[in-house]
Chains A and B, each alone.
Chain A
Amino acid sequence: MSRTRGVLALLVLCALGVAAVGATAATAKKSAPTKLTVWVGWSARELSVFKKVAAEYDKSHPNVTVDVLGSINDDKIVAAIRAGNAPDVASSFNSYDVGIYCGTGGWIDLSSKLKSSGIPLSTFPAATNYYTQFGGKKCALPLLADTYGLYYNKDLFRTAGISGPPKTIAELTADAKKLTKFNPDGSIKVLGFDPFIGFYENTPERWVTAWGAKWLDSSNKAILAKQPGWSNWMTWLKSYVNWVGYNKLVKFQAGLGDEFSASNAFEVGKIAMNYDGEWRVAFIQAEHPKLNYGTSPMPVANPKLYGSGYINGTIIGIPKNGKHEAEAWDLVKYLTTNTHALAELSNGLRNVPSTQKSLTSPELTPDAHFATFLKIFGNKYSSTSPITAAGVSYTNAVQNFATKWQAGKVSNLGSGLSKLDGQLDAMVKQAGGGGVP
């Protein structure tokens, strides 16, 4: 009997052992994490902020490991998609290229995933919804938004006897002239304001919002020549550049530090007022925390537009032919809709959180400088630039025209804008594969 018991006990032990080994193996198989590659445009300090949030997701999702690669641009994303080794999740600073990603199917349409996840489009503000779709496809989601406003140096304002930030273009011009100081040889010592197109964040699309100018008519044809806002902005720009002196400005700019460095001209007091994105708040905090400055909406040509600004932002999507689409979607969903994640990113990057809910998250660190941009983001007149099949080349063509204009290389603004309208329409048609209109 005891022998039989012994055999039975041995069998039970063996069975338990087999079960234990099987269970361990099953657990190991179940927990083998999927490696998700994520490409983003951020670098240096900003990249570490993103990595921190990605690590939080990583920690709470044992089924995946998130591998983040920074300093990515659209060339690399497109090349990787073509080569068949695209990341599981891609992010771009360049929402202008949504027309290309959606139009070509390079990034998958997320409409059905949003629907099945119960995420209505109203989760995101209207402007961000616009620049993350094209041609009926929602191939990207906003991953934080950017708004633009005026940074002004309070110490330089006090020295010049200016009490507060300008609200109109006329006030901006007058203040800028008051704040500008020249060296004895005539070169610029301190510039009141630099609206030069191509300098730092100055691009036409960010400027014309101050004039309320539109880009397209209802049939998506360019109407720059028909919108007085365009010619009024350019006329003001040329007049200001002429006042400073084109060559003086070019030489002055050549001696300024890189925009994204501690030598940024506004941060070191070389420029008294600057048109910049909300992220500058974090840069100043990190690089020149003692700088005495303020933020305000950009001055406008039409008083009713005061408080509004240009909106754009980082986009995120899932490149086609990804091997881990479900896991990638879960991460994208987390990054773009999780209020905690967005607040963390916003606090670290000082970008505008891009869902309605996260805009009022109690987790957002209060900051008077940054609050200005949250208000601009919520202003009903804030707008963005058109998304077309031509991608970024569309706005670049306008910038190209504006740089020629400010240099005095365009003799007739009206006919120049008319010609530009024709070129823009032709570009869109060519990008769509249709050739000459």
Chain B
Amino acid sequence: MSPWLVGFSVFFGYPLVMSAYLSFNHYDLLSSPRWVGLANYRYLFTVDPQVWTAIKNTLWLIAVMVPLQVVFAYGIAMLLARAKSGVGFLRTIFYLPALAPPVAATLGFVFILNPATGPVNTILSHLGIQGPLWFQDPAWSKPSLTLLGLWGVGNTMVIFLAAVLDVPRHLYESAELDGAGPLQRLRWVTLPTTSPVILFAVILGVIQGLQYFTQAYVAAGVASGQASQAGDVTAGTLGYPLDSTLVYPVLLFQHGFTDFQMGYASAMAMLLLAVSFAVISIILVNSRKWVHYGGAAR
């Protein structure tokens, strides 16, 4: 048996099959699973009062944060590709946030965006602007998470930078000879040539968006002021404020590891798998219209 097959079976195949099996069971982690048929799925689709909120929050992040991250990372990569001096320094500066652990980065953002004591609102107040409540306001919590996401796009930026620098120079020269300006060169040369990398970044971003957890979990706990207690009931603060950061994986975690309903959490995981598969399939099918692989086979 090849090592790959062993790895695939142990780390992917078995957990997947078990999740599918457990999704049809009542399983509280401590006693043996008990078959309940479709009860978990019925509860998921017809009763759970938080599941649609969690789906909406996750979709918001995918629809707003992921495109912004791709555009922002691409924009920085374009600027860095054109930089004439201090290139190494600038690349380091823009990449550096990606090295910050997500928990530490989130803690930092909650601190600097604290509406009462944070430096951002303090500066805004000196300018005569009343800053928002950021992570404490349901209308601003997801935009705050988006800011955090944009700050940490270093990895995507580096990939884009490599792709942009890899665009053959002669294509630009030909375009220039044909009278193409900077925007036309971007539209007709850079974007098509780097489109496979953009597709990669979009798919990666969507998958990360569907699995978005750490930042939402930490931000909710810290902003609610309840994260420091070992025995604290975490589920009471998940999604703070007002379920606005309750993304699907956080709800799944809550049901599985706080409420100890692993059978139900498995049903949620199967739905997430199905949705992920569907979304990625749609993107891949749609990508045929805008991704150019040059002369290579797809």
Contact = CB atoms under 8 A, between A and B. Distances in A.
B236 A198 contact: yes
Contacts of A320: 30
A348 B136 CA distance: 36
Given A75-B258, A430-B43, A432-B26, 14 more contacts: A73-B232, A78-B257, A101-B30, A104-B30, A104-B260, A198-B226, A254-B115, A258-B228, A259-B229, A423-B47, A430-B261, A433-B39, A435-B43, A436-B47
B264 interface: yes
Interface string B90-114: 0000000000000000000000001
Nearest to A255: B116
Interface of A: 41, 43, 70-75, 78, 81-82, 92-94, 96-97, 100-101, 103-106, 198-200, 203, 247, 250-256, 258-261, 320, 390-393, 396-397, 399-400, 403-404, 407, 409, 423, 426, 430-436
Nearest to A97: B260
14 contacts: A93-B231, A103-B28, A105-B30, A200-B225, A254-B133, A255-B114, A391-B259, A396-B236, A400-B50, A426-B43, A426-B47, A431-B28, A435-B42, A436-B43
Contact of A433 (B36, B46, B240): B36
Contact of B115 (A250, A261, A431): A250
A72 B263 CA distance: 25
Given A255-B114, A436-B47, A404 B242 contact: yes
Contact of B236 (A43, A71, A104, A399): A399
Contacts of A256: 225
A104 B28 contact: yes
Given A104-B31, A403-B242, A431 B47 contact: no
Interface in B223-251: 223-226, 228-237, 240-243
B49 interface: yes
Nearest to A392: B233
B261 to A, nearest CB: 6
Contacts of B234: 73, 75
Contact of B237 (A74, A103, A198): A198
Contacts, number: 146
A434 B230 CA distance: 32
Q: Is the interface of B mostly helix, strand, loop or mixed?
A: loop
Contacts of B28: 100, 103-104, 431
A128 B42 CA distance: 36
A78 B29 contact: yes
Contacts of A407: 138, 241-242
A255 B260 CA distance: 34
> 6 shortest A-B CB distances, which residue pairs?
A255-B116, A435-B39, A433-B26, A93-B231, A41-B231, A104-B30
A200 B237 CA distance: 12
Nearest to B117: A255
A73 B224 CA distance: 19
Contacts of B259: 390-393, 431
A196 to B, nearest CB: 11
Contacts of A92: 231
A403 B240 CA distance: 10
Contacts of B56: none
Interface in B135-179: 136-138
A73 B240 CA distance: 20
B30 A78 contact: yes
A434 B39 contact: yes
B260 A78 contact: yes
A432 B260 CA distance: 11
Contacts of A391: 259-260
Contacts of B43: 426, 430, 435-436
Interface in B210-228: 223-226, 228
A433 B36 CA distance: 7
B82 interface: no
A255 B223 CA distance: 10
A430 B49 CA distance: 13
Interface string B7-38: 00000000000000000001011110010100
Nearest to A406: B242
B172 to A, nearest CB: 51
B190 interface: no
A41 B228 CA distance: 12
A200 B225 CA distance: 8
B266 interface: no
Interface string B256-294: 011111011000000000000000000000000000000
Given A256-B225, A430-B47, A436-B46, A94 B233 contact: yes
A393 B258 contact: yes
A347 to B, nearest CB: 21
